[in-house]
Amino acid sequence: RGGDFLNGGMDPLREMARRDPRGPAVMGAFASTGYGSGTDPVEWNWQTLDRHADAAAHRLAEAGVGPGERVATLLPASPEMVVLLHALPRVGALLQPLNTAWTEEELVRALGGPKTSGSGPAPSILGPSAPSLLLVPGDRVGTFRGALPGMGTVAVEDVVELDGAPDPAGGLAHRPALPPSEDDTPLAILLTSGSTGRPRPIPLTHGNLMASARGTAARLRLDPADRWLASLSPAHVGGLALLHRAAVVGSAVVTTPSFDPEVFLDLADRGEVTHASLVPVMLRRLLELRGDRPAPRGLRCVLLGGAATPRPLLEEGLAKRWPVALTYGLTEATSQVATAPPDEVRRKAGTVGRPLPGVEVAIREADAEGVGEILVRGPTVALLPPAPPGEPGVRLAPSGWLHTGDLGRRDGDGDLWITGRASDRIVSGGVTLEPGEVEAVLFRHPAVRDVAVVGAPDETWGERVVAVVVPADPGAPPSLDEILEFARAKLSAAKRPRELRIRSDLPRNANGKVDRGRL
């Protein structure tokens, strides 16, 4: 295709359906292939996907969904979700995907409904007004209609039909009298992970998503022969960006009911998956299941993001020839800011690489080692609403620079290294330390499977360093003395843990990051 697959029009799906109508677009693994349960497997080309999007747009318009309205979805990465991502812009509506891991009470609170325990309405975190429509699997419609009587709740099966040939508006494409999307046309609203405070709704525009797709495709050298496993929730910016990027590049999306390491390895061994976006805990599960066998031969890229990748995990993956790429990003910058492809990670393990094409990165108030706050500017940066007064979080300066609150440095090659987050820093006895530095040392202890380091209030030291450890052998957890002896030659006294807590796992948010507030 001569590399022109990145020059799509204002509707990337319509453009791909025109250029490569019979190319594979969505491959859904279901019951007949032994994975999960549901209908027969979905195997759509771009033309079929385009027709499904038209049919869904027609049904949404008939239901009264129009320009500027928000439609919330409670769906995993699935064929239905791919259809809705492309159908909603065709009626001028915005997609607002919700986290399927939330409890019913959390979902009702998020949607501004009454609390399921107690009385009175709960303030919505989704924005100033509730979505006009909620799309859920059919077996959950009754639950949400009862809990949210003022909101229209519709079964997704009534909007997106997986079986049979789509028949939009009697066979005619749905082409509403709307102007084509411009760079500043909002397409989706995503919630931040909440790692810096209360989750915030972030509007992402057509321009944000297109710039992210083009920059990522250029950095990772993507092409239409790729097959991406849709392994992250569409409520996570990395998951939504992947589904959108596939239409821009022309690569197929492979969906499964949920992330299952055995299914992933089977698909990759058979050449059905070449790329995947994972969080570090997913890679850990794959390495444990794979044992000493190397990565599947057809796997070209495992993109790790969402949370910092522990150095021992990275080294193990590289030693077993996994094609690991590292990325740094955030919801407010439409996922990736900087990315190191697999060949660069092999040469310089630990860096997240250079900024994507068109994205600028600066380091603010760097210390003697060059570490300071990471600032981001460019077409992927969302136009942020003001942060609530007194609440920490990412903010956008009038100059256009996004103040991330993350800490990092750039080396002589311009590559970015992430060192931590300003709000996670611990000040103990007048010494400021980064939890990530302590965690990197403790990860190497043979009795430690997982670890997080937090600061706890202390009358003598101001804060004391607490190591929360998941032991490799639950029956033989390490002691504090063992941890201190191991760390003595590697960490100065102020950085060594003064307290040890043992847990069976670490609390994590939807992005795979450790929830330090809960710890």
Residue 116 has pLDDT above 50, yes or no: no
pTM equals 0.84
Q: Give Cβ neighbours of residue 64 (< 8 Å, ≥ 6 apart).
A: none
Token pair belonging to 187:
């397409």
- Determine the average pLDDT of the residues in 238-266: 94
Check: CB of residue 415 under 8 Å from CB of residue 353.
yes
Task: Report the percentage of the chain scoring pLDDT > 70.
Answer: 86
Check: CB of residue 115 under 8 Å from CB of residue 109.
yes
pLDDT for the residue 145: 86
- Determine the average pLDDT of the residues in 451-480: 89
- Across-strand partners of 304? 278, 326
- Determine the average pLDDT of the residues in 56-75: 92
Q: What is the mean pLDDT of the chain?
A: 86
Q: Measuring CA to CA, which residue among 89, 58, 232, 69 is closest to residue 161?
A: 58
pLDDT for the residue 267: 93
The beta strand positions in 388-515, using DSSP E, are 395-396, 402-410, 416-421, 426-428, 431-433, 448-458, 462-471, 499-502
CA distance 80 to 334: 22
Residue 420 has pLDDT above 50, yes or no: yes
Q: Which of 270-279, 301-310, 374-383, 419-428 has the lowest mean pLDDT?
A: 419-428
Higher pLDDT, 322 or 397: 322
pLDDT for the residue 391: 58
Higher pLDDT, 113 or 84: 84
- Determine the average pLDDT of the residues in 481-495: 88
pLDDT for the residue 408: 93
Q: Measuring CA to CA, which residue among 399, 418, 398 is closest to residue 409?
A: 418
Q: What are phi and psi of 392, to 5 degrees?
A: -70, 160
Greatest alpha-carbon pair distance for the chain in Å reads: 75
pLDDT for the residue 164: 66
Q: How many CB atoms lie within 10 A of CB 414?
A: 11
- Across-strand partners of 186? 205
How many Cα atoms within 13 Å fall on the side-chain side of residue 23?
Answer: 24
How far apart, in Å, are the Cα atoms of 46 and each of 6, 50, 233, 246, 248?
Answer: 16, 6, 22, 11, 11
pLDDT for the residue 356: 97
Secondary structure, 3-state, 244-306: HHHHHHCCEEEECCCCCHHHHHHHHHCCCCCEEEECHHHHHHHHHHHCCCCCCCCCCEEEECC
Single-letter residue type at 330: L
CA distance 232 to 236: 7
Residue 411 has pLDDT above 90, yes or no: yes
The beta strand positions in 98-212, using DSSP E, are 133-136, 152-155, 186-191, 201-205
Q: Which of 27-36, 42-51, 280-289, 400-409 has the lowest mean pLDDT?
A: 27-36
The DSSP secondary-structure symbol of 334 reads: T
- Determine the average pLDDT of the residues in 10-38: 75
Instruction: Work out the pLDDT band at 117, boundaries 50, 70, 90.
Output: very low
Residue 115 has pLDDT above 80, yes or no: no
Q: What is the pLDDT of residues 208-233, one digit of tens each?
A: 999 999 999 999 999 999 999 998 99
First to last CA, the chain: 51
CA distance 408 to 233: 27
Check: CB of residue 286 under 8 Å from CB of residue 294.
no
Check: CB of residue 519 under 8 Å from CB of residue 453.
no
Instruction: Work out the pLDDT band at 130, boundaries 50, 70, 90.
Output: confident
Q: Which of 191-200, 294-303, 330-339 has the lowest mean pLDDT?
A: 191-200
Q: What is the pLDDT of residues 140-174, one digit of tens each?
A: 888 888 888 878 899 999 999 887 667 655 445 55
Q: Which of 11-20, 169-178, 294-303 has the lowest mean pLDDT?
A: 169-178
How far apart, in Å, are the Cα atoms of 177 and each of 84, 144, 221?
Answer: 19, 33, 37
